[in-house]
Amino acid sequence: MASYRTVEVIDSHTEGEPTRVVIAGGPDLGTGTLSERLELFRANFDAFRSAVVCEPRGSEVVVGTLLLPPVQPDSAAAVIYFNDVGYLGMCGHGTIGLVTTLAHLGRIGPGDHRIETPVGIISTHLAEDGSVTVANVPSYRIKAAVAIDVQGFGTFTGDIAWGGNWFFLIADHPYELVLANRPQLIAASTAIRAALHANGVTGPGGELIDHIEFFTAPHDPHNSSRNFVLCPGASFDRSPCGTGTSAKLACLAADGKLAPGETWRQESILGTIFEGSFELLDDHRVSPKIRGRAWITAESKLLIDATDPFAAGIRF
Ligand code: PYC
């Protein structure tokens, strides 16, 4: 008889992008700060990360969320986000999926809920209609109009901004943002990320710019813009990307193209929407709010047999 480690998960999708919340069976990361617990996770339990999100139990598009006891008594939860190649500081669609999951479990109801993440405490609001608003971490642009030569693709000019993850945001490119073009979009954005890395273009502390975002005019005239977002690894965001939309809001604020409180409707490559707005915090940072909706897709138990050659998932 095989003996299994079992991991209980709730799956959802937020405007098309999947989230898998681990509600039981995760590693014991102690009671330190979220950054300390993230370091323990990374150092000692990385096989758990890949077992949960990589094939054959998951796929490169799944974002995992490890639910942990919060540090502050008034927080609803603490979380660490991860994907097929590593860990995310923050995840907007994942937070909307998490709040929807906590409501599905009966742990929270409509109202305001604080969520602890490794990059700070996030305020969220679950509305009666099931939509979730995430007040994300302060977001800001550090450089505008950075030109980068990308071998085989040409020169791209974009902005570098933080929205809970690091982004290179490009409005001027030759691509039509439609699903049929995804091989071309993935190839170009992956080459741009590699060129940024090779040329030492990083965040202020040397952080990798690991998300690449293309923008065009929206397909639906009610929306403000359409995007394609390459995530760390080779997967692209099916949703409009919460942290990417936050980074975009920071750039719009810096350029004076959107006023505080005004709504920005960010359309994804699937045509799904996040509504965004911001408050100005100071001369270079904004406090973004992102609103979207998630749907529960499964309640399941993952089984991990230690003799399975892919007990830790398939790592590409
Ligand atoms: O919604 O912030 C987001 C996100 C990051 C990576 C995938 N989704």
Q: What's phi and psi for 93, nearest 5 deg?
A: -65, -35
Of the listed ranges 31-35, 62-66, 149-153, the least confidently predicted one is: 31-35
Count other C-beta atoms under 10 Å from residue 133's C-beta: 20
Please report, rounded to a whole number, the percentage of residues in the chain having pLDDT higher than 90. Answer: 97
H or E stretch at 93: helix 92-104
Q: Is 184 helix (H, G, I), strand (E, B) or coil?
A: helix
What mean pLDDT is reported for the chain? 97
Phi-psi label, residue 152: left if phi above 0, alpha if psi -120 to 50, beta otherwise: left
Residue 192, pLDDT above cutoff 90: yes
User: Does 243 contact ligand 1 (Cβ within 6 A)?
Assistant: yes
Q: What's phi and psi for 66, nearest 5 deg?
A: -90, 115
What is the model's pLDDT at position 313?
98
What is the model's pLDDT at position 316?
85
pTM of the model: 0.97
Catalytic, 54? Answer no
Question: Ligand 1 pocket test: which of 91, 122, 266 has the largest number of ligand atoms within 8 Å of its C-beta?
Answer: 91
For residue 240, which atom of ligand 1 is closest to its CA? 1
| Model confidence pLDDT, tens digit, residues 50-62 | 999 999 999 999 9
